Amino acid sequence: MSVSYCVSIETAGDFLGLALTRFNRKTGEVFHLKRYVSSGKGTQSDRLIPTLDRLLKERRLSKKQIGLVAVDVGPGSFTGVRVGVSTARALGQGLGVPVVGLSSLEAIAHVARVKETMTVVSCLPALAGECYFAVYEARPGRAAKTISLKETLKPCWKNESEFVQMLSALVLNPKKKNRAVVVVGNNAAGLKEAASSVHGLTWQSVRQPARPTAVAEIGVKKFLAQPRPRQFHYEKIRPLYLQPCWAERERAGRAEGRGHAR
């Protein structure tokens, strides 16, 4: 069958995002059937599967009709990323379908408003004074309101001063002096203020770390572009944490303290 269905999962932030998307395996055309985003009561792990079951029921679909799972693997909330990845792996294993993992930074860049070829920097707040970011070459897609992304700097974790230095280098790059630089992110943790300190770029705001529909669109595109299904086996999906958790930082700090005491 040329028509299939994708479930996309977004739990890298402090909310639960799900989308049901129909796509054509031959043309790549996508149509979003249902979208759910909520930061209400209850943990993501408690609500994810019941919400998915409800969305499927509303569209009169069964899990057996799911042909693809797409999931945001981070960076973001440690707990949220773990919930999304483990659920996606379980669905992939249980249903015997491919699972596509993608970065939350790529999903953020995907919603940038692009009218011409430009440099897009997607960013997310991490701990105080730190952030995650990645850089993409973006251009309008063939279909209306779509975007084509090429990663030029992999997702990384730096402090805000290093983030500003990277932005300045992009703006001053003589090889791309006529290319616009757009920074996409939310307004939390002073990232907008940090980016605004660099002249020559534009800020675009997003409300959530990523949209489940963006996760679906990227996931379908990656799946259809890869001729080897093995590439998307559920066992290959891993969380993208980038930084150590608080417990690891505390252990490292205690070890460093003991080293200085000797």
DSSP-derived secondary structure for 10-58: E-SSSSEEEEEEEEETTT--EEEEEEEEE--SS-HHHHHHHHHHHHHHH
Which amino acid is residue 88, in one-letter code? A
* Same-domain check for residues 97 and 215: yes
* Same-domain check for residues 28 and 81: yes
Residue 169 sits in a domain of what CATH number?
3.30.420.200
Residues sharing a CB contact under 8 Å with residue 212, sequence separation 6 or more, in sequence order: 8, 9, 10, 17, 18, 19, 35, 36, 37
Distance CA 236, CA 76 (A): 19
* Same-domain check for residues 95 and 222: yes
Q: Is the pLDDT of residue 69 over 80?
A: yes
Torsion on CA atoms 110, 48, 25, 155, rounded to nearest 10: 30
Residue 28 sits in a domain of what CATH number?
3.30.420.40
CA–chain centroid gap for 28, Å, is: 20
* Same-domain check for residues 95 and 215: yes
Condensed to tens digits (0 to 9), the pLDDT of residues 78-128 reads 999 999 999 999 999 999 999 999 999 999 999 888 888 999 999 998 888
Using the 8-state DSSP alphabet, how is residue 236 labeled?
Answer: G
Q: Is the pLDDT of residue 42 over 70?
A: no
**Contact (CB, 8 A) for 104 and 124:** yes
Which amino acid is residue 95, in one-letter code? L
Q: Is the pLDDT of residue 262 over 90?
A: no
Among 47-51, 52-56, 139-143, 205-209, the range scoring the smallest mean pLDDT is: 205-209
* Same-domain check for residues 214 and 150: no
Strands of the sheet containing 66-72, edge to edge, are 30-38, 16-24, 3-10, 66-72, 99-102
* Same-domain check for residues 31 and 71: yes
Question: Residue 7 belongs to what domain range?
Answer: 3-103+210-243
For residue 209, give both structure tokens: 């770390």
For residue 57, give both structure tokens: 């029921």
Give domain status of residue 86, yes or no. yes
pLDDT of residue 144: 62
Q: Work out the pLDDT band at 59, boundaries 50, 70, 90.
A: very high
Give domain status of residue 93, yes or no. yes
Which residue has better confidence, 95 or 146? 95
Using the 8-state DSSP alphabet, how is residue 212 labeled?
Answer: H
**CA-only gyration radius of the chain, Å:** 19
- Supply angle C-alpha 52, 58, 59, rounded to 5: 95
For residue 191, give both structure tokens: 């990232």
Give domain status of residue 87, yes or no. yes
* Same-domain check for residues 150 and 29: no
Give domain status of residue 127, yes or no. yes
Residue closest to 81 by CA, chosen among 156, 18, 157, 12: 12
Give domain status of residue 186, yes or no. yes
Q: Is the pLDDT of residue 247 over 70?
A: no
Q: How far is CA 96 from CA 56, 114, 163, in A?
A: 18, 36, 41
> Mean pLDDT for the chain?
88
Q: How many domains does the chain have?
A: 2
* Same-domain check for residues 32 and 69: yes
* Same-domain check for residues 161 and 81: no
Query: DSSP letters along 67-114, please?
Result: EEEEEE--SS-HHHHHHHHHHHHHHHHHHT--EEEE-HHHHHHHTS--
Mean pLDDT (whole number) for 215-233: 89
Give domain status of residue 172, yes or no. yes
* Same-domain check for residues 165 and 94: no
* Same-domain check for residues 195 and 119: yes
